[in-house]
Structure 1
Amino acid sequence: MVMDFQQYVNAETLTLIGSYLLSGVGFLVVLFIGRYIAAKLRSTIRTKLDRPTVDQTLVKFGSNLTYYAIFILTAFAALEMVGVETASFIAVLAAAGFAVGLALQGTLANFAAGVMLLLFRPFNVGDYVEIGGEKGFVRDLQLFYTKLDTRDNQLLVVPNSDIFGNTIRNIFNYDHIRVDCAVGTDYPADIDSTREVLLQAAQKIDDRLEEHGEQAALLSLGDSAIIWEVRIWARPDDYFRLKQELTRVVKYELDNADIGIPYPQMDVHVDSLEEQAA
């Protein structure tokens, strides 16, 4: 048995095993170095371009694309080093990629949607947007998904295909935005007097954009109240604060003018037994 083992384990076999081990170690080392360089370059791009004049959405998307491109090229270089024919390997990958692509249509759709979002630029990092009924500040645009930070400090991860295929509302896209406060008033209250009270409430908001004016719009005659909407204009940074302030002042001004904000009401008529019999 010992003689048989020594017969097969000769110098040539040991050299071959050593060559395979060396190639394997070399493959892993090249792959590790390529990944390190890709990550370092991605970090460098983000650090060097972290400036107010540079669009951070483009920076993050481009740095991630650079990372994956370098890593894939490194993987092919490592395969070439260990003697793998990359031409045939690429052909095999193409065939496998076709099959995988059919199975991962959603993932590829997310990637394509991410590229389209980058090209058409409906929003940038830091914008306050509404997508699919969800509102939040854009934290990051990745290749396959977008991250949103909500106002109550929750993280939303939305697939890019869901974003690009739906209506996108960029709430703070312009340098001014309208602040609305809807309120219902009693039917007995005089309409013109109520309008004056609501306009006075709007005019008491200090940080509003006065050049855009204010408005007390009569929307509809509801079941229990006359529906109004008080409107002012504000800078995006002041929106949430002024909305709270406007709501508070409208309530106080209506109270001071003895104009009620009615509860929902329903009139119920009960017929007597004699009327029902008739």
Structure 2
Amino acid sequence: MLKFYKKFIIGILISFSLFALNLFLLSIKNVSTDVIITTRALSIVIGGIYFTIIISDGVREALERKPTKSTAVVIVPNIVKYLGYILVFIGVLAVFGVTSAEALAGGTFAGLVLGLALQPVLENFFAGILIITTGFVSIGDHIRILNSQIPYMPANLPPYKFFSREYIEQGLEGTVAEIDLFYSRLILENGREFRIPNSLLLKSSVVDYTSKLSKKLYVSIRVEFPLDKVDLNSLLEEVKEELKDFEIEEGPYLSEQSDKENVIVSLRIVTDVDNWKKAKSEALKRLLLLRSRIIKAVTINKT
């Protein structure tokens, strides 16, 4: 990717080329006025849009270098971009000799027509403004989008996939990478980029896994123990002793039977949001090792 100053130099060269083209057309006697005006308007469009894009990108890169990122990373570059587009539009009108009164009258009529024709586009535009200004979601948030218009649902089989789940959150999970005025970008867990229209995002329920209000997460764990190998009177105390390093929020309980030959021990531990998978893995490993030791001890005693 070219650095900002290199892009700026390229923009200067493009501007000089367009300026030279306009001077060349002016020097030719047989060229009509319409051609000259059209060429001048195209020059403003090409040069204006190019500089608008590189300046907004430069502002974005400068803001992203700051250690503390905020909504300014999204708001300021977008303001620069759309102000640039407005200036280009005004410049083109000036070239064609459109007065302010004519522009206002034409803009009113065009606004009504375009407002009806571009209703979905405008809906995304204003939804983007609301998302950015209210902080509905922010860049860097790890979220899950829940919406009936997104065709995602949990697999029905095999049921053991959701053995320890108290509830299943359907939808898309990912990290917010960018919020534009028309759509937002999410990087999904598999690394793919998902682009969602802002109007759909604003209408969705969002689960924020990086909430600023809650730093704790409650994780459920369930493990089967064979009924013919365990002492039900002491099993729960053994589980507590095995997990004495964890903060147990609820349980352990003998929650239910499985196939009439096993009893399921369930509990909930408290962990921080960032390391809950590691904590659940460690707690589950300890309980599986406990089960293995119990089974091995009973087998040795019987032999």
Is the TM-score greater than 0.5?
Answer: yes
Which has the greater radius of gyration? Answer: 1
Give, in whole Å, the separation in 1 of the partners of 2:284 and 2:206: 27
AA aligned opposite 1:112: F
TM-score where L is the length of structure 2: 0.67
- Of 68, 71, 74, which aligns to 1:53? 68
Q: Which runs of 5+ in 1 are unaligned?
A: 1-13, 205-209, 260-278
Deviation (angstroms), 1:141: 0.7
AA aligned opposite 1:52: P
Range that drifts further, 137-146 or 103-112? 103-112
Question: Are 1:247 and 2:284 an aligned pair?
Answer: yes
| Moved >6 Å (runs of 4+) | none
- Of 204, 211, 216, which aligns to 1:177? 216
- Of 59, 78, 82, which aligns to 1:64? 78
1:28-43 to structure 2, matched below 5 A, reads 28-43=42-57
1:106-117 to structure 2, matched below 5 A, reads 106-117=120-131
Q: Which runs of 5+ in 2 are unaligned?
A: 1-27, 147-170, 297-303
1:94-243 to structure 2, matched below 5 A, reads 94-132=108-146, 133-174=171-212, 176-178=215-217, 180-186=219-225, 188=227, 193-203=234-244, 213-217=247-251, 218=253, 220-221=255-256, 224=259, 225-226=263-264, 228-234=266-272, 236=274, 238-243=275-280
Structure 1 SS opposite 2:191: coil
Structure 2 SS opposite 1:185: strand
| Counterpart contact for 2:63–2:73, Cα < 8 Å | yes
TM-score where L is the length of structure 1: 0.72
Give, in whole Å, the separation in 1 of the partners of 2:258 and 2:116: 55
Deviation (angstroms), 1:126: 1.1
Give, in whole Å, the separation in 1 of the partners of 2:232 and 2:135: 45
Give, in whole Å, the separation in 1 of the partners of 2:177 and 2:290: 40
Deviation (angstroms), 1:219: 8.3
Give, in whole Å, the separation in 1 of the partners of 2:293 and 2:100: 82
Question: Are 1:20 and 2:47 an aligned pair?
Answer: no
* Percentage of matched positions with identical amino acids: 22
RMSD, matched Cα: 2.9
Give, in whole Å, the separation in 1 of the partners of 2:55 and 2:254: 57
AA aligned opposite 1:162: L
Question: Are 1:82 and 2:116 an aligned pair?
Answer: no
